[in-house]
């Protein structure tokens, strides 16, 4: 059965913010958020300055004029970009590899493009193999290869498009043929090639006049990028809730894909567009750690800087008469939900999935096939390892930007990223220890303790007896006061004069 695909664009939430929802059969499968104050950096081209070279990492740190320097792997520098004066050689990683020593200079100015957003303490990842995307092709001025979108499956179509790319491109230029090229004429693709080439020549010309670090090229705004990259003939409808942006999208489509104009519409109802399409309800659960399955089982998702860990549990019906059947059903259902959550939350990097152990390896193969099948519509590339004998599956997924956890949240000021806070008992013990260390000053005096409301409730109920003994032993008068302004595990101790 053909999936019904829709793109819903909400612009009337907060000024300067655009929220984009991708629906498949009315289910939210992808979500993107961009605001004027935190625009994506991916795709920007800078003229940067090499600050230093780390031989162990085989990379250079490049000053782009951002808060953190970008990291440029030396393998991502075309030979034409490498200086040969004041040479600093970086030896090949292995003598067995037939690669030439790479040469680059600190202080060198170089064109580079951001391929991955800064994440946490890491700066942006950059490359000097520049690319400029269009609707039908991606133009690579520093590479000569031809690539075809993996979404184009028919061999004849792939061969035809490859031959077309060879006819229109210069020998030293590379092209990637995008999915939309299937429905474009040769002239449309040729015209776009000429336009992208003009863009690059302009960037190259301007860069010779400017001093690094400086931004040389920025991508189109998120609305135009969405229409260009996502609104293909596979999409049934695109709905926008803002008239100026609707007109902007129609104007752009009239230039690049007039046949799709009839599929774009303006949303005019009073109910917010995300509520109408039931997107808001899905977004309210998007950061939950535990996701329940229809079978009664559940999965948990834990994200760290190094990896994403996903665990599957049989949950409510663990006493089923046929446990093997239950486990298979739970794993199968979990595979589909995991694929959904990977796309929705934009989970990337290394992903570890702990399936429930099954005695039959054939059933595990079915589960893995289900996971891969449910990721077929994913635009990010994924790679899968074999399931280990412990039921652990490792996979990697392409990362170009921080996932939704990083986009929508910030580090907790209380737990500092730990994910847990000090127990109430341990906090109470810390208070008692603080009193004890200053007992020679506090003995026989009136003491006031200010704590958070949660700790206050615990002290006057769960620790009342211990505190009474402490007060009696050291002849103190103790007053405990709650304060909503104090952090959960903090406290203040005062002597009352």
Please give the structure tokens belonging to residue 200: 């690059």
Does 112 score more than 90 pLDDT?
Answer: yes
CA distance 446 to 493: 11
Does 480 score more than 60 pLDDT?
Answer: yes
Neighbours of 192 (CB within 10 A): 20
The DSSP-derived string for 351-387 is EEEEPPP-S-HHHHHHHHHHHHHHTTT-SS-EEEPPP
CATH architecture, domain defined by 424-496: 3-Layer(aba) Sandwich (3.40)
37: confidence class by pLDDT, cuts 50, 70, 90: low
Identify the weakest region by mean pLDDT among 3-17, 348-362, 439-453.
Answer: 3-17
Do strands 290-292 and 298-303 pair parallel, antiparallel, or not at all (unpaired)? Answer: antiparallel
Average pLDDT score over residue span 90-112:
60
Digit-coded pLDDT (tens) for 323-344 = 788 889 999 999 999 999 999 9
Q: What is the pLDDT of residue 90?
A: 36
Q: Do domains 5-40+219-281 and 49-214 have the same CATH topology?
A: no
Digit-coded pLDDT (tens) for 54-75 = 888 889 999 999 999 999 998 8
CA distance 233 to 462: 64
40: confidence class by pLDDT, cuts 50, 70, 90: confident
The DSSP-derived string for 329-348 is HHHHHHHHHHHHHHHHHT--
What mean pLDDT, rounded, does the chain reach?
A: 86
Nearest one of 20, 32, 114, 22 to 76, comparing CA atoms: 114
Q: What percent of the chain clears pLDDT 90, i.e. is strictly above it?
A: 51
Number of residues written out for the chain: 497
Choose the CATH number for 49-214 among 2.40.50.140, 3.30.420.10, 3.30.470.20, 3.40.190.10: 2.40.50.140
Q: What is the pLDDT of residue 95?
A: 37
Q: What is the pLDDT of residue 80?
A: 47
322: confidence class by pLDDT, cuts 50, 70, 90: confident
Average pLDDT score over residue span 34-59:
86
Q: What is the pLDDT of residue 79?
A: 58
Instruction: Using the CB atoms, write b or e for 261-289: b if 16+ within 10 Å.
Output: eebbeebeeeeebbeebebbebbeeeeee
317: confidence class by pLDDT, cuts 50, 70, 90: low
Average pLDDT score over residue span 435-461:
90
Q: Is 299 exposed, middle or buried (0-12, 13-18, 19+ CB in 10 A)?
A: buried
Q: What is the pLDDT of residue 437?
A: 86
Does 141 score more than 50 pLDDT?
Answer: yes
Does 91 score more than 50 pLDDT?
Answer: no
Q: What percent of the chain clears pLDDT 70, i.e. is strictly above it?
A: 92
177: confidence class by pLDDT, cuts 50, 70, 90: very high
Q: Is 436 exposed, middle or buried (0-12, 13-18, 19+ CB in 10 A)?
A: exposed
451: confidence class by pLDDT, cuts 50, 70, 90: very high
Do strands 174-177 and 146-148 pair parallel, antiparallel, or not at all (unpaired)? Answer: parallel
Sorted by sequence, the CB contacts under 8 Å of residue 93 that are 6+ apart come out as 58, 99
Average pLDDT score over residue span 163-167:
93
For residue 213, whether the previous peptide bond is cis, meaning omega lies within 30 degrees of 0, is: yes
How far the first Cα of the chain sits from its last, in Å, is 79
Does the domain spanning 5-40+219-281 belong to CATH 3.90.1150.10? no
SS3 content of the chain, % helix, strand, coil (to 5): 35, 25, 40
Does 471 score more than 50 pLDDT?
Answer: yes
Average pLDDT score over residue span 149-159:
90
Identify the weakest region by mean pLDDT among 36-45, 261-270, 276-285.
Answer: 36-45
96: confidence class by pLDDT, cuts 50, 70, 90: very low
Q: Locate tokens 């990291």: which residue?
A: 71
pTM of the model: 0.77
Residue ranges of E strands in 178-229: 214-217
Helix (H) or strand (E) holding 225: helix 222-230
**How big is the CA angle at 167 (ends 164 and 172), to the nearest 5 degrees?**
115
Does the domain spanning 289-408 belong to CATH 3.40.630? yes
The DSSP-derived string for 3-60 is PPEEEEEE-SSSTTEEEEEEEETTEEEEEEEEEGGG---TT-EEEEEEEEEEGGGTEE
Q: Which residue has the higher pLDDT, 240 or 445?
A: 240
Where are the domains positioned within the chain? 5-40+219-281, 49-214, 289-408, 424-496
Q: What is the pLDDT of residue 98?
A: 40
């Amino acid at each position: 059965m053909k999936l019904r695909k829709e793109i819903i664009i909400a612009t009337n939430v907060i000024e300067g913010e655009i929220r984009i929802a991708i629906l498949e059969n009315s289910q939210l499968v992808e979500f993107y958020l961009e605001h004027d104050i935190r625009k994506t950096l991916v795709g920007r081209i800078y003229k940067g300055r090499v600050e230093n070279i780390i031989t162990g990492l085989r990379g250079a740190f490049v000053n782009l004029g951002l808060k953190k320097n970008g990291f440029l792997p030396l393998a991502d520098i075309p030979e034409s970009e490498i200086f040969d004066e004041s040479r600093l050689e970086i030896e090949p990683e292995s003598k067995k590899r037939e690669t030439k020593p790479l040469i680059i200079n600190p202080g060198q100015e170089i064109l580079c493009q951001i391929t991955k957003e800064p994440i946490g303490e890491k700066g942006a990842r950059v490359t000097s193999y520049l690319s400029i995307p269009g609707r039908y092709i991606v133009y690579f001025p520093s590479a000569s290869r031809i690539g075809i979108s993996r979404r184009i499956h028919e061999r004849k179509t792939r061969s035809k498009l490859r031959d077309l790319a060879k006819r229109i491109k210069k020998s030293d230029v590379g092209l990637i043929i995008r999915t939309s090229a299937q429905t474009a004429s040769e002239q449309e693709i040729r015209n776009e090639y000429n336009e992208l080439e003009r863009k690059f020549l302009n960037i190259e010309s301007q860069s010779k006049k400017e001093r690094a670090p400086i931004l040389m090229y920025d991508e189109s705004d998120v609305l135009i990028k969405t229409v260009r990259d996502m609104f293909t003939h596979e999409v049934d409808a695109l709905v926008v809730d803002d008239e100026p942006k609707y007109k902007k999208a129609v104007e752009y489509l009239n230039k690049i894909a007039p046949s799709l104009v009839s599929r774009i519409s303006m949303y005019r109802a009073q109910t917010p567009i995300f509520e109408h399409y039931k997107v808001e309800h899905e977004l309210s659960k998007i950061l939950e750690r535990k996701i329940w399955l229809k079978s009664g089982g559940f999965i948990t998702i834990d994200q760290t800087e190094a990896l994403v860990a996903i665990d599957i549990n049989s949950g409510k019906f663990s006493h089923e008469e046929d446990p093997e059947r239950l486990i298979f059903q739970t794993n199968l259902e979990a595979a589909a939900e995991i694929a959904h959550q990977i796309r929705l939350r934009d989970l990337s990097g290394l992903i570890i999935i702990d399936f429930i152990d099954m005695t039959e390896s054939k059933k595990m193969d079915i589960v893995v096939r289900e996971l891969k099948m449910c990721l077929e519509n994913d635009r990010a590339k994924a790679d899968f390892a074999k399931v280990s004998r412990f039921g652990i599956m490792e996979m990697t997924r392409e990362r170009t930007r921080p996932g939704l956890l990083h986009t929508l949240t910030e580090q907790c000021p209380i737990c500092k990223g730990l994910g847990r806070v000090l127990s109430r008992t341990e906090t109470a013990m810390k208070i008692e220890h603080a009193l004890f260390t200053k007992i020679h000053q506090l003995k026989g005096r009136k003491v006031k303790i200010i704590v958070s409301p949660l700790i206050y409730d615990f002290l006057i109920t769960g620790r009342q007896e211990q505190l009474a003994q402490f007060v009696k032993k050291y002849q103190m008068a103790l007053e405990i006061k709650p304060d909503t302004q104090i952090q959960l595990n903090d406290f203040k101790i005062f002597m009352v004069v």
